[in-house]
């Protein structure tokens, strides 16, 4: 995303750390059907949605049901001597456990 920003440009992203309820449902369905290893890597906690097939379709939930290391991750992001500075964060009441973050492109190491 940083490559797409001009100086002082802003990126807004909602981020939920951990698994969404749909992810947990997919893992449970994969276990039940004996196909979990086809789309889920438990060591990295990564789901390959393209490989999940019918499990993905059967696990879909409405988006409204999708329920301190991030600041360090944002601060560590640098591209071509530019970085991101977190300037705002807010809890999203319609999406439990999800926050909206606003970060601004700045020269690397500079706070806004």
Q: What is the CATH number of the domain that holds 59?
A: 1.10.150.330
Look at residue 29 in the predicted model and tell me its pLDDT.
96
Say yes or no: 12 and 29 in one domain: no
Say yes or no: 28 and 59 in one domain: yes
* Residue that the structure tokens 């999406």 belong to: 95
pLDDT higher than 60, residue 64: no
Say yes or no: 23 and 43 in one domain: yes
Which structural domain, as residue segments, surrounds residue 5? 1-16+67-112
Number of domains the chain contains: 2
For residue 101, report the phi and psi dihedrals to the nearest 5 degrees: -115, 145
Find out whether 104 and 87 touch, Cβ atoms under 8 Å: yes
pLDDT higher than 70, residue 67: no
Say yes or no: 71 and 110 in one domain: yes
Find out whether 85 and 71 touch, Cβ atoms under 8 Å: no
């Amino acid at each position: 995303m940083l490559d797409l920003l001009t100086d002082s440009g802003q990126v807004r992203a909602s981020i939920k750390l951990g698994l969404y309820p749909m992810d947990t449902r997919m893992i449970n369905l994969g276990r039940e059907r004996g196909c979990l290893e086809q789309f889920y890597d438990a060591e990295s906690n990564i789901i390959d949605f393209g490989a999940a097939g019918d499990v993905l379709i059967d696990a879909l939930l409405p988006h409204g049901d999708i329920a301190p290391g991030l600041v360090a991750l944002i601060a560590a992001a640098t591209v071509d001597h530019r970085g991101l500075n977190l300037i705002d964060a807010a809890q999203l009441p319609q999406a439990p456990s999800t926050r909206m973050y606003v970060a601004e492109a700045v020269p690397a190491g500079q706070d806004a």
